[in-house]
Amino acid sequence: MANLENETSITSNTVFDLASAAKQFTGYAIAVLIEEGKVSEDTDVRALIPEFPEFDQKITIVHLFANAFTPFHLV
């Protein structure tokens, strides 16, 4: 059942609310890439995601893991 209260069945069109659940899988995947030497903790994310906007400083994988980068003009 997709919704027990409304007795709605799960179909191929059912949308599941994952919220922040994907963060653990993404973090693990990046940790594996770091361990395999395919990226490093100080890799600029723009090298991996060219569409990522330019900011005044380099944004690394560590910044993203730690939520340590906040572009002040977006606050």
Task: Give the phi and the psi of residue 60 in degrees, each rounded to 5.
Answer: -105, 170
Bigger pLDDT: 71 vs 33: 33
Amino acid (1-letter code) at residue 45: V
What is the C-alpha to C-alpha distance for residues 64 and 75, in angstroms, rounded to an integer? 16
pLDDT band at 73 (very low <50, low <70, confident <90, very high): very low
pLDDT band at 35 (very low <50, low <70, confident <90, very high): very high
pLDDT for res 19: 73
> Helices then strands (H, E): number in the chain?
3, 0
Partners of residue 54 on adjacent β-strands: none
